[in-house]
């Protein structure tokens, strides 16, 4: 079996490739194209690339994504790029008789006021939170395509919904990163510079669930190898924490002792996020193993060693 992993050079992709290798997939049987190899937002390039490499399984991880600020600044681009990549890859999979297609979606596909914990059956019960709706809807459309291509063309397409990820090798750019890497960078830099305060977005009242990246990769590998049904599946850790509590925890772990100033002019995003993870456990035995504090300690240690050089 030959596996093609889009986004294989990215944050999540590297861990998925490592997980596939641990499961017994040989390095020679894994293709991980970079954007310079193929622009999957272009239909002909995508179809030519898949026809040339003839994978048996496509795991589509590649995405154009960022935090609230990046989503607010790039709604059109995030909608087009994420929809186009999925559309072109799934059609190319059909044309080339790929045996399995794994579409990794997003928590942003859920309605803004989804009852907590989020159940997969609630995906269509409302409109997503406005700041990331274009991205979320683009990804949710690919769930419909997975199910439609399964029905009409017998493509074994599955759809996974990971919650917010974090961990080593993340994007720590303050404009485009998600909340955990942004806070880790802010707190470590403030501690090093003996700054008196850091600024945090919103009120801190919103809650989020976070999944350590190596746990997420394990869930994706388990589903790739063992799950073959049309229903979407959440991948999460099964808990939530307010952004205020998260910020205070990261500050403590980074040894930052200054003030946290909340900028209420900035949006909080979706009020709450916490997943029901029972389907993943029942269908392919996935249960996250890493506690938030342990995952944060590892992430902070990686940033200190690889970015700060100490």
Count of C-beta atoms within a 10 Å radius of residue 145: 19
Chain centre to alpha carbon of residue 31: 20
User: In terms of Cα–Cα distance, which of 172, 182, 178, 166 is closest to 215?
Assistant: 166
- Backbone dihedral region of 34: left (phi > 0), alpha (psi from -120 to 50 degrees) or beta? beta
Find the catalytic residue in 49, 78, 135, 303: 135
**pLDDT digit string, tens, across residues 144-202:** 999 999 999 999 999 999 999 999 999 998 887 889 999 999 999 999 999 999 999 89
Count of C-beta atoms within a 10 Å radius of residue 97: 11
**pLDDT digit string, tens, across residues 262-284:** 999 988 888 889 999 999 999 99
pTM of the full structure: 0.94
User: Average pLDDT for residues 65-74, to the nearest whole number?
Assistant: 82
Look up 135 and say whether it is catalytic: yes
Both tokens of 4, joined, read 């093609």
Q: Which domains does the chain have, with CATH numbers?
A: 3-166+210-238+273-289 (3.40.50.720)
Q: Are strands 210-212 and 207-208 parallel, antiparallel or unpaired?
A: unpaired
pLDDT at residue 88 is higher than 80:
yes
188 and 178 in contact (C-beta within 8 Å)? no
271: DSSP letter: S
pLDDT at residue 253 is higher than 90:
yes
Both tokens of 207, joined, read 């809650």
- 310 confidence band (pLDDT: 50, 70, 90): low
User: Average pLDDT for residues 104-129, to the nearest whole number?
Assistant: 95
- Pairwise CA distance, residues 256 & 248, whole Å: 9
């Amino acid at each position: 079996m030959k596996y093609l992993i889009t986004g294989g050079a990215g944050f999540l992709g590297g861990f998925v490739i490592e997980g596939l290798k641990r499961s017994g997939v040989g390095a020679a049987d894994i293709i991980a194209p970079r954007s310079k190899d193929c622009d999957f937002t272009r239909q002909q390039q995508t179809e030519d690339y898949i026809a040339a490499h003839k994978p048996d399984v496509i795991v589509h991880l590649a995405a154009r994504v960022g935090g609230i600020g990046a989503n607010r600044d790039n709604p059109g681009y995030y909608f087009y790029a994420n929809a186009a990549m999925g559309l072109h890859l799934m059609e190319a999979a059909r044309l080339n008789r790929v045996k399995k297609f794994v579409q990794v979606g997003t928590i942003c596909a859920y309605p803004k006021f989804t009852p907590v914990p989020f159940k997969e059956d609630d995906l269509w019960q409302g409109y997503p939170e406005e700041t990331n709706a274009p991205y979320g809807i683009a990804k949710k459309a690919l769930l419909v395509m997975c199910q439609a291509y399964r029905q009409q063309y017998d493509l074994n397409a599955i759809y996974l919904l990971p919650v917010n990820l974090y961990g080593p090798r993340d994007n720590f750019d303050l404009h485009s990163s998600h909340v955990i890497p942004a806070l880790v960078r802010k707190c470590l830099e403030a501690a090093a510079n003996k700054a008196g305060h850091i600024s945090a977005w919103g009120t801190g009242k919103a809650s989020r669930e976070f999944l350590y990246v190596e746990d997420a990769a394990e869930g994706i590998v388990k589903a790739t190898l063992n799950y073959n049904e049309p229903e979407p599946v959440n991948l999460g850790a099964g808990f939530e924490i307010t952004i205020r509590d998260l910020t205070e925890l990261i500050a403590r772990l980074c040894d930052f002792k200054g003030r946290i100033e909340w900028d209420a002019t900035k949006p909080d995003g979706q009020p709450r996020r916490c997943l029901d993870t029972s389907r993943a456990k029942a269908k392919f035995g996935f249960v996250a193993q890493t506690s938030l504090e342990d995952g944060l300690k590892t992430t902070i240690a990686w940033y200190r060693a690889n970015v700060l050089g100490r």
